Structures are given as structure tokens and as C-alpha cells.
């Protein structure tokens, strides 16, 4: 299978967009746009980021604290800035508990290094989450090589968290109900 075909298949999986931030060799803030992020464990609190071996950020992350900045839907320019297309003005930096962080994000996870693994042409970094901040903002999504926002919830969203869900709630798919106005009235 050629790389383009595999990349297109991977693109069928919608993911959030993050910028992994750390300090470079001179102690200055540095970041890289990354969609390969996932939660790993609640206890201990761990998350995973995967970066291309050839990225500059990869040379700064080995054994270093970092932050996972989960971008908000209005931060496409920030995503592009850290994907190699610098924007002016640049990002709004803040000092986080472990590493520099970005302002205006949907959420931020500040991490200490936990483990590092060979991932072929990528390096897999596991971070121990020491601080987490969330804001009331929708996340930026990436799907089929294009940025997206959440959009309108699907028709099944009404059942999310509801115990009356016909496929998993109190009543099974074979249960039938009669509307009150059609039910026999007591005599």
C-alpha cells in the first residue's frame, strides 16, 4: 500500500487538533501542530503524543516537560502557524506549570515526561498530566486533510446519556407503548 493511500485512510478518522509546546534549547517557547494525541490512563494520569522524527519539536521533547494545547474552533491560524505556515501576529504565549502554553485554547494539559517509545518514522511520547485546564470552547477538528468544527449534533445525540435509549436503556427494542389518549380508560 502506498503512503498516499494509507494517509487517506488515516484521514477517515476525525481527530482534534493540538499544539504540543515545550522550551527549545535556548529556553524559548516552541510548538508543533499534532493530531496524533490520545488519552492513555486515568491513574496515573497519562496522555500520548506522537511526532514525526524529523520535526524540530522532536529534538526538544526527549526527557522534557511539555503541554498539550487542545485548539479551539477559532484557532485555525494557530494550527497553521505551528504547522510551518507562520502567521503574523504570532501566538499568545503564557507560562504554564511545566512548559509554555498557548492562550485561547479549548483545553490545556501540562505534562512531565513519563516514557518515550520508537514509533517507526515517529516518536511516541507519554506525558504524566500534572495540571489540566478546560474552557467553554468547542474544539478544532481535522478530517480528510481539512479543518472542521463540531457543527450540528447528530440526530442520535438526543439519546446520549439518556437511559431511555431504545438500544441500550431501560427498554429494549421490542417494548411497545400506547399513547395515553389511546389507552383504555378505567371503567
Convert the pLDDT of each residue in 11-54 to its tens digit.
666 789 999 999 999 999 999 999 899 999 999 999 999 999 99
Convert the pLDDT of each residue in 163-182 to its tens digit.
555 555 565 666 676 666 66
Q: Where are the alpha helices (DSSP H) in the chain?
A: 3-10, 56-61, 76-81
Q: Do the Cβ atoms of 58 and 49 come closer than 8 Å?
A: no
Q: Supply the pLDDT for residue 164.
A: 58
Strand-pair partners of 133: 108
Is the per-residue pLDDT at 143 higher than 70? yes
Q: Supply the pLDDT for residue 96.
A: 97
Global pTM value: 0.78
Q: Do the Cβ atoms of 37 and 16 come closer than 8 Å?
A: yes
| Superfamily of 3-154 according to CATH | Electron Transport, Fmn-binding Protein; Chain A (2.30.110.10)
User: How many CA atoms lie less than 13 Å away from 137 in the CB half-sphere?
Assistant: 20
Is the per-residue pLDDT at 155 higher than 70? no
- CB count within 10 Å of CB 15 equals 16
Of the candidates 132, 137, 24, the one whose C-alpha atom is nearest the C-alpha of residue 68 is 132
Convert the pLDDT of each residue in 126-139 to its tens digit.
999 999 999 999 99
Convert the pLDDT of each residue in 96-127 to its tens digit.
999 999 999 999 999 999 999 999 999 999 99
Amino acid at each position: 500500500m502506498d503512503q498516499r493511500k494509507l494517509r487517506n485512510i488515516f484521514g477517515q478518522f476525525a481527530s482534534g487538533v493540538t499544539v504540543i509546546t515545550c522550551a527549545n534549547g535556548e529556553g524559548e517557547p516552541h510548538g508543533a501542530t499534532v493530531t496524533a494525541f490520545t488519552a492513555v490512563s486515568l491513574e496515573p494520569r497519562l496522555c500520548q503524543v506522537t511526532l514525526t522524527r524529523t520535526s524540530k519539536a522532536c529534538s526538544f521533547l526527549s526527557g522534557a516537560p511539555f503541554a498539550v494545547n487542545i485548539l479551539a474552533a477559532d484557532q485555525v491560524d494557530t494550527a497553521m502557524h505551528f504547522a510551518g505556515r507562520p502567521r503574523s501576529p504570532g501566538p499568545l504565549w503564557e507560562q504554564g506549570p511545566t512548559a509554555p502554553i498557548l492562550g485561547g485554547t479549548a483545553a490545556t494539559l501540562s505534562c512531565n515526561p513519563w516514557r518515550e517509545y520508537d514509533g517507526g518514522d515517529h516518536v511516541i511520547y507519554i506525558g504524566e498530566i500534572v495540571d489540566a485546564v478546560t474552557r467553554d470552547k468547542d474544539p478544532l477538528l481535522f478530517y480528510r486533510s481539512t479543518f472542521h468544527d463540531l457543527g450540528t449534533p447528530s440526530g442520535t445525540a438526543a439519546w446520549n446519556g439518556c437511559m431511555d435509549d431504545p438500544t441500550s436503556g431501560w427498554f429494549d427494542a421490542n417494548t411497545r407503548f400506547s399513547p395515553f389518549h389511546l389507552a383504555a380508560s378505567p371503567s
